Amino acid sequence: MTTIQNEIQAINTKFDQAFNAKQVDNIVALYAEGAVVMPAPAGTPVTGVPGLKDLFEGLIKAGVIEHQLTMIDVVEDGNLAYQIGNWAGAMVGEDGVKQMFGGNVQLVYRKQADGQWKAVTHIWN
């Protein structure tokens, strides 16, 4: 793996660990100030820390579990990089049956002044 692939894979791992541990502040810390998240299906774009917290708290409270990001490709160009991949998750229905779901994901990252990569846009379907 290239350096950027390793760095983005580490971010994916942090995201999944934080989501699955219900640590919303740790999820939001992976986004740059003013980041925009565009949830599926055709959800209203969410911007800023309070909105991101509400979005991810809502997904966790709705019962989404076992979140997993899988990187397909990452391209870096200067201080910007983008990732395409897949996401997966699950929910347990009222009948006790676990339902798996997932789709495509794209994230754009900007290298911060401290050298960390943080997401500036995140869209999934």
**Using CA atoms, how far apart are residues 47 and 65, in angstroms rounded to an integer?**
23
Task: Please write the tens of the pLDDT for every residue from 56-79.
Answer: 999 999 999 999 999 999 999 999
Angle at 15 between CA 9 and CA 84, to 5 degrees: 50
Q: Is 3-124 CATH 3.10.450.50?
A: yes
- Whether the pLDDT of residue 112 is over 80: the answer is yes
Work out the average pLDDT over 119-125.
97
